[in-house]
Amino acid sequence: MSVLINSPTATDLEWVFSRPWNKAIICTPWLPIHGVTLLEQAMVKTLSSNNNKIIKIWFRITPDDVVNGKWTDVISIRDWIERLKRIDPNIKLSLKTADQLHAKIYATDKRAYLSSANLSASGFGLEGGKKNIEFGIRLESNTDIDDLWIYIEEMENRLETLPRSALESIAEALNKPTIKKEVETIQKKVTNLGKKLTTNFSGMPHHDFPLR
């Protein structure tokens, strides 16, 4: 059975993880702190110790994505992974990345939600975020889920493995006072530029910068 969703919310992510599962995939180009929070809340009931679960986490980690923490928050991802390992030391985590990644897949071996939405405040319509116009579909039949995981395994070969040590190194670098200050300066400049563009494009049908 499949169900079309015209505006994704946290409920859709909770639905994916509400049934006991053995493996899962989070595939989203941008994974900011809001997305990490959504994942933790969605998984809390079905994630427990000593279950040997497998979680694939795919996201982009280009310099632009990392510097703008609203798109990919490396520190939040690193901290979340550490919390996952404390809950279940035997959990198997697979981190993958690709600059060309554009797919959005939130799935377990029981249920799936395929969407145009990044796992972000604007993508999932969180309070305080500007809501994007998105589309998605829930999948639950065994045939659909099996076919999806065949596709996932095929697509996985097109991504590069991201060692946890590399993720840790990037997170540590972003936490250094000098780099942190530079990143904050860049983020302010991007925000100010967005405001200027918004003013100049105020007569256009779409004029808010940027939505992700």
Helix residue ranges per DSSP H, 44-176: 63-67, 74-87, 142-156, 164-175
**Which single residue is written with the structure tokens 């249920």?**
111
Beta bridge partners of 93: 55
Write down the mean pLDDT value for the chain.
84
Q: Which domain holds residue 88?
A: 2-175
Write the CB contacts of 94 (distance below 8 Å, at least 6 apart in sequence): 54, 55, 56, 57, 161
DSSP 170-188: HHHHHHSHHHHHHHHHHHH
Pair 82, 202: CB distance under 8 Å: no
Instruction: Looking at the structure, tell me whether residues 162 and 66 fall in a common domain.
Output: yes
Does residue 117 share a domain with residue 180? no
Question: Which pLDDT band holds residue 193 (cuts at 50, 70, 90)?
Answer: low
SS3 42: helix
Residues 83 and 156 in one domain: yes
The verdict on 33 and 78 lying in the same domain is yes
For residues 162 and 104, membership in a common domain is answered with yes
Residue 22 has pLDDT above 60, yes or no: yes
CATH value at residue 79? 3.30.870.10
Question: What local confidence, expressed as pLDDT, does residue 188 receive?
Answer: 64
Residues 81 and 123 in one domain: yes
pLDDT in tens, 50-66: 678 999 999 998 877 77
DSSP summary character for residue 100:
T
- Least confident among 11-15, 154-158, 171-175, 202-206: 202-206
Tell whether 111 and 183 lie within a shared domain: no
Please tell me the predicted confidence (pLDDT) of residue 192: 62
* Single-letter amino acid, residue 178: T
Residue 12 clears pLDDT 70, i.e. is over it: yes
Cα(125)–Cα(131) distance, rounded to whole angstroms? Answer: 5
